[in-house]
Each structure stands twice: as C-alpha cells, then as structure tokens.
Amino acid sequence: ANYEVCHDSCIMPKPQTPQLRTFLEKRIDIKLNAGRQINGILRGFDPFMNLVLADVFEIQADGSESPIGMVVVRGNSVQTMVARQRV
C-alpha cells in the first residue's frame, strides 16, 4: 500500500490523484449533492477531486441555464460527472 507517515506517528493512506486529465479543457456536466447541476470547462483538479471550472452555467429545474462564471467545486459534493465532448 501507498502510505505517508504523519506527525503523530499515525499512518494515513496517501491520496490518489483522480484520473481526470482526459477531461481537462473539456465542457463537463456535473451533478452535485442537493440536486444542483452545473456545466463548465474543467481547468484543474487536485488529489481530493476539488475541481476548478470556467465558463460555468447552473442548470435550473426547468432546464434554463444561468451563467455563474468561474467556480471551485469541492470534490465531496460531486455525485456524477459526464463530458459533453468526446474525450
């Protein structure tokens, strides 16, 4: 296993980097917890799957889209992620 030793002599698993490179610079649809949906261009991510998205739109329940610009999405709030473009 891949482990990293912390200060308190406890052993914690080292976070794995999510395999999201193929999604970089692609427009993706994201379903968040609490029933929210957004789509935007994936600009970056980290080992915790926190996402940086540009040109983001929030999709309303009626299907309309509201522009919200650039956002950072916490990885633990992502339920599903689908590329709109072929990866």
Q: Does residue 37 contact residue 31 with C-beta atoms inside 8 Å?
A: yes
What span, in angstroms and rounded, lies between the C-alpha atoms of 70 and 55?
6
Phi and psi for 25 in degrees, rounded to 5? 65, 20
- Average pLDDT across the chain, whole number: 86
The alpha carbons of the chain give a radius of gyration, in whole angstroms, of: 16
Instruction: Report the distance separating Cα 83 and Cα 46, nearest Å.
Output: 18
- Reported pTM: 0.77
**pLDDT score for 2:** 55
Name the band, by pLDDT with cuts 50, 70 and 90, for residue 86: confident
* Nearest alpha-carbon partner for 65 in 28, 37, 31, 30: 37
